[in-house]
């Protein structure tokens, strides 16, 4: 694993440790004492040494966004399978380059879109598949925070891969792609609303489908707020309050193998349009271990990668189109080639 910041120590390392037949043996980090205290016996070395370390099968890249492409490229060329934390890269061209390198090297390449294994997204998918809402015409998802003070950190300083939408946009875009497939076009608006802010801290992005509109929203100035996810259809609506708890549980030190891990006590609510009745629907358990279990199986030739390279490239295309739409103030198509669309 390369990087022992928030993503590496909170998500990747505990999830890897919790999956049978996976073992974390090397960490590329300057935080030697912190790594070895948490993971006795691992080798701690530089990022590039970890990317090409001879005795590993899988390299997980959890370093700052701008470094993803170079490290993933080096690992693939060294014959490693690779997982890249989101965002996959900082440009669509970099994403395409990695996809081609993985194809040439015959290696498995995936991106850590862990929202697919969260209770909120699993609940959304279950409601869609049930048909209880009829034909769905509107989906909206919010990932809001209340952080009114600007912090000095690379995510909030100007530069490649910085800003709120590069942080949360890949999550929101991938879940829309997972639930509904590729949109036809995108229109977006971004703003910096906090005093002293240097990057956008408010994002409102609409994905346009033939008979569906998807609204993705993120803000750092929302306290409390409304539902996280809503669906509206020809028979009724559904709303889900409360975020998936796995991040909070991992922060607290809970093992992903704990029976309580991923349990979400917050139900969704179905609003029947004809009768006006409201019905609570329990939320399925979230389990991000599923990502690494699927990656393990793919390496062993026993299944498909957890997130395909095709989807990784598509998310980057939509991300790039949304930034261009916000800058130009108009609706834009998704710039994928015919081969990528196929």
Q: Are residues 168 and 271 in the same domain?
A: yes
State which H helix or E strand residue 49 sits in: helix 47-51
pTM over the 0.85 mark: yes
CATH number at residue 203: 3.30.360.10
Nearest CA among 232, 255, 208, 8 for reference residue 124: 232
| Inter-residue contact 207 to 183 (CB < 8 Å) | yes
CA 87 – CA 161 distance, rounded (Å)? 8
**Buried b vs exposed e over 237-259: b needs ≥16 C-beta within 10 Å?**
bbbbeebbbbbebbeeebebeee
Q: Which of 62, 82, 112 is the last residue of a domain?
A: 112
Q: Are residues 97 and 169 in the same domain?
A: no
Q: Which of 87, 112, 137 is the last residue of a domain?
A: 112
Q: Which of 62, 97, 112 is the last residue of a domain?
A: 112
The one-digit pLDDT tens for each residue of the chain (342 residues) are: 999 999 999 999 999 999 999 999 999 999 999 999 999 999 999 999 999 999 999 999 999 999 999 999 999 999 999 999 999 999 999 999 999 999 999 999 999 999 999 999 999 999 999 999 999 999 999 999 899 998 877 677 788 888 899 999 999 999 999 999 999 999 999 999 999 998 999 999 999 999 999 999 999 999 987 899 999 999 999 999 988 999 999 999 999 999 999 999 999 999 999 999 999 999 999 999 999 999 999 999 999 999 999 999 999 999 999 999 999 999 999 999 998 988
Q: Are residues 177 and 280 in the same domain?
A: yes
Q: Are residues 157 and 274 in the same domain?
A: yes
Q: Are residues 60 and 157 in the same domain?
A: no
Instruction: For residue 178, give every residue at least 6 positions away whose Cβ sits within 8 Å of its Cβ, in sequence order, or none.
Output: 113, 116, 121, 125, 311
Q: Are residues 136 and 43 in the same domain?
A: no
Q: Are residues 21 and 98 in the same domain?
A: yes
Domain interval for residue 78: 6-112
pLDDT in tens, 259-315: 999 999 999 999 999 999 999 999 999 999 999 999 999 999 999 999 999 999 999
CA 119 – CA 127 distance, rounded (Å)? 12
Domain count of the fold of the chain:
2
Q: Are residues 93 and 130 in the same domain?
A: no
CATH number at residue 31: 3.40.50.720
Three-state SS for 230?
A: strand
pLDDT in tens, 59-101: 999 999 999 999 999 999 999 999 999 999 999 999 999 999 9
């Amino acid at each position: 694993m390369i990087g022992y910041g928030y993503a590496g120590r909170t998500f990747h390392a505990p999830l890897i440790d919790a999956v049978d037949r996976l073992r974390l043996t090397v960490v590329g980090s300057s935080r030697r004492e912190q790594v070895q205290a948490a993971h006795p016996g691992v080798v701690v070395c530089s990022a590039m040494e970890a990317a090409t370390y001879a005795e590993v099968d899988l390299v997980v890249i959890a370093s700052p966004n701008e470094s993803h492409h170079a490290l993933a490229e080096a690992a693939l060329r060294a014959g490693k399978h690779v997982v890249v934390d989101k965002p996959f890269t900082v440009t669509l061209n970099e994403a395409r380059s990695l996809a081609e390198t993985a194809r040439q090297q015959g290696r498995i390449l995936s991106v850590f879109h862990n929202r697919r294994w969260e209770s909120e997204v699993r609940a959304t998918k279950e409601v869609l598949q049930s048909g209880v809402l009829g034909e769905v015409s509107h989906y909206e998802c919010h990932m809001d925070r209340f952080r009114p003070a600007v912090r000095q950190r690379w995510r909030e300083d100007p530069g490649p891969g910085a800003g709120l939408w590069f942080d949360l946009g890949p999550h929101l875009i991938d879940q829309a792609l997972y639930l509904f497939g590729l949109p036809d076009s995108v229109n977006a608006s971004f703003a910096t609303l906090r005093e002293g802010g240097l990057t956008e801290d408010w994002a409102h992005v609409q994905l346009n489908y033939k008979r569906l509109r998807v609204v993705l929203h993120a803000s750092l100035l929302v306290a409390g707020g409304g539902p996280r996810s809503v669906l509206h259809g020809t028979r009724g609506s559904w709303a889900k309050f409360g975020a998936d708890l796995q991040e909070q549980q991992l922060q607290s030190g809970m093992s992903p193998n704990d029976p309580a891990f991923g349990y979400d006590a917050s139900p969704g609510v179905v609003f029947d349009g004809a009768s006006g009745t409201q019905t609570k629907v329990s939320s399925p358990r979230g389990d991000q271990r599923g990502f690494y279990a699927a990656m393990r199986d793919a390496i062993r030739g026993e299944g498909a990668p957890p997130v395909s390279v095709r989807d990784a490239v598509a998310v980057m295309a939509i991300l790039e189109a949304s930034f261009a739409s916000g800058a130009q103030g108009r609706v834009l198509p998704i710039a994928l080639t015919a081969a990528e669309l196929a």
